[in-house]
Amino acid sequence: SPEANSVPKRELKSYEDFGSMGIKMELLRGIFSYGFEKPSPIQKRGIMPIVNKYDVIGQAQSGTGKTGTFLIGTLQRIDETKNHVQALCLAPTRELSEQIFNVCSALCTYTKIKPYLLIGGNSRNEDINNLDKNTYHIIIGTPGRVFDMLKNLSLNSKNLELFVLDEADEMLSKGFQDQIYEIFQYVPKTCQVCLFSATMPEEALEIA
Ligand code: ADP
């Protein structure tokens, strides 16, 4: 869009290894144990802007490491000594949410960060109970169930610091737009927003 084009382009600093990003020890251990030795190109440039609290649009082809980018950035941002939900990550399907959750769980194995998978198909009552009794730092899920839990106040969004949309082109297309808009009403105005996608059509960019 004209607005996007008028934003001055800045070279993003490229970090050649995870160690040079200043990532906390426990998270670094998770990254290496998961089998990531060196960051992929989008990870070299995309993790630190998230850590440094910028709003980010990350666009790269499928299979280039976008999931790792936003998860590592998000996990580095989370303060595990604070017992409240700090990050919300939405994906268009249950399967994708599950995949993201599994990678997230693996990456944060050695940290005290607690992720929670919030998707339709799981028991609604169990979600309400879990969100009520436990402290989670990061919620990963699909828009329907997430909105449900926001609306019934089981999911407290008042301390959200980071809102991530995976497959942002799809999340901001006609099918999901309204739901994302409704969810966004619960997101604090100061919250950082990160969008990741293989494509960024005009329509999605405009809403972004
Ligand atoms: P995208 O989200 O862009 O589709 P993924 O984050 O799912 O891509 O990564 C694609 C594949 O590459 C996955 O199997 C993932 O485990 C692997 N991968 C991602 N980053 C790295 C890395 N730094 N080192 C090794 N493998 C990686």
Atom of ligand 1 nearest to the CA of 36: 24
> What tens digit of pLDDT does each residue of 176-198 get?
999 999 999 999 999 999 999 99
In a 13 Å sphere around the CA of 68, the CA atoms on its Cβ side amount to 23
Q: What spatial distance separates the first Cα and last Cα of the chain, rounded to whole Å?
A: 11
The verdict on the CB of residue 69 being under 6 Å from ligand 1 is: no
The verdict on the CB of residue 198 being under 6 Å from ligand 1 is: no
In this predicted structure, the answer to whether residue 1 has a pLDDT above a threshold of 50 is: no
> What tens digit of pLDDT does each residue of 120-175 get?
999 999 999 999 998 899 999 999 999 999 999 999 999 999 999 999 999 999 88
> What tens digit of pLDDT does each residue of 61-114 get?
999 999 999 999 999 999 999 999 999 999 999 999 999 999 999 999 999 999
Task: Please tell me the pTM assigned to this model.
Answer: 0.94
Angle between helical axes of 41-51 and 66-77 (0-180°, round to 10): 30
Q: Quickly list DSSP for 88-157.
A: EEE-SSHHHHHHHHHHHHHHTTTSS--EEEE-TTS-HHHHHHHHHHS--SEEEE-HHHHHHHHHTTSS--
